[in-house]
C-alpha cells in the first residue's frame, strides 16, 4: 500500500491529493496576526514619562544611533530640540507646518488606542493649532516605536516601591 494516494478528482481533470489539500489549507487559512517579535502589552502614558530616546530611522531609513536631536516626555509635555543635528523633516512637517531652523517644540501628549496623540504644539514659543496622531507600539518589553520613521524609546525603569 502506498502512503501517497489521490483522494479527489477536480472538474478540470487534475488530480488533487491529500497533501495538496493540506498544503493549500495551511497557506490559506489565517491563524491570526503574525508578529515577528511577539505580543506585548500596549504602550501607556507611564511608559513614556522619562523614557530614553535611543535611535530613529531617517528619511532614507538609515538608523541614526545615537539620535542627533532630543525628544523627552514629562507627565504633561513632550519637548523636541535639535542637538548635533536638526529636528527631522517629517516631525517639522507634522508639528511645525514645515518651518525650518526650529529650536524647540513643546506640546501636550497622551497615548490613546495605539496612537501617540500630540496636541497644542508651540514652535519656538509660537502656538500652533494642530493635533497629530502617530502610531505607537511596543515591539519588545523594552522597545517602544513611534511613527513611520520609528523613533525608538526605552521605557524608564519602574521605580522600586518599598514594602
Q: Is the pLDDT of residue 159 over 90?
A: no
15 found inside a domain: no
Predicted pLDDT of residue 113: 93
Q: Among 29-33, 68-72, 88-92, which stretch is predicted with the lowest mean pLDDT?
A: 29-33
- If pLDDT is split at 50, 70 and 90, which confidence band does 52 have? very high
List the end-to-end C-alpha distance of the chain, in Å, as a whole number. 70
**CA 113, CA 49: separation in Å to the nearest integer?**
18
Provide the number of structural domains found in the chain. 1
Q: What is the mean pLDDT of residues 124-137?
A: 93
Q: Is the pLDDT of residue 55 over 70?
A: yes
17 found inside a domain: no
Q: What is the dihedral of CA 109, 111, 44, 76, to 10 degrees?
A: 10
Q: What is the CATH number of the domain that holds 131?
A: 2.40.128.280
Q: Higher-confidence residue: 98 or 12?
A: 98
Predicted pLDDT of residue 34: 40
Predicted pLDDT of residue 154: 94
Q: Is the pLDDT of residue 124 over 90?
A: yes
- If pLDDT is split at 50, 70 and 90, which confidence band does 30 have? very low
160 found inside a domain: no
9 found inside a domain: no
7 found inside a domain: no
| Max Cα-Cα span within the chain | 83
32 found inside a domain: no
103 found inside a domain: yes
116 found inside a domain: yes
Host domain of residue 106: 45-154
Rg (CA), the chain: 24
- Count Cα neighbours of 13 within 13 Å in the Cβ-side half-sphere: 0
Looking at the DSSP bridge assignments, the partners of residue 80 are: 71, 105
Task: Output the average pLDDT for the chain.
Answer: 82
Amino acid at each position: 500500500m502506498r502512503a501517497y494516494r489521490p483522494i479527489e478528482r477536480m472538474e478540470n481533470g487534475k488530480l488533487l491529493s491529500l497533501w495538496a489539500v493540506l498544503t493549500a489549507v495551511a497557506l490559506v487559512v489565517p491563524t491570526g496576526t503574525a508578529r515577528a517579535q511577539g505580543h506585548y502589552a500596549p504602550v501607556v502614558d507611564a511608559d513614556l514619562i522619562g523614557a530614553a530616546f535611543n535611535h530613529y530611522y531617517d528619511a532614507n531609513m538609515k538608523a541614526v544611533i545615537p539620535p542627533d536631536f532630543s525628544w523627552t516626555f514629562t507627565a504633561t509635555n513632550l519637548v523636541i530640540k535639535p542637538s548635533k543635528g536638526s529636528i527631522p523633516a517629517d516631525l517639522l512637517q507634522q508639528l511645525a507646518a514645515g518651518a525650518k531652523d526650529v529650536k524647540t517644540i513643546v506640546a501636550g501628549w497622551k497615548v490613546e488606542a495605539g496612537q501617540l496623540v500630540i496636541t497644542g504644539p508651540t514652535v519656538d514659543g509660537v502656538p500652533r493649532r494642530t493635533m497629530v496622531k502617530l502610531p505607537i507600539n511596543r515591539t519588545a518589553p523594552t522597545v517602544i516605536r513611534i511613527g513611520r520613521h520609528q523613533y525608538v524609546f526605552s521605557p524608564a525603569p519602574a521605580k522600586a516601591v518599598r514594602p
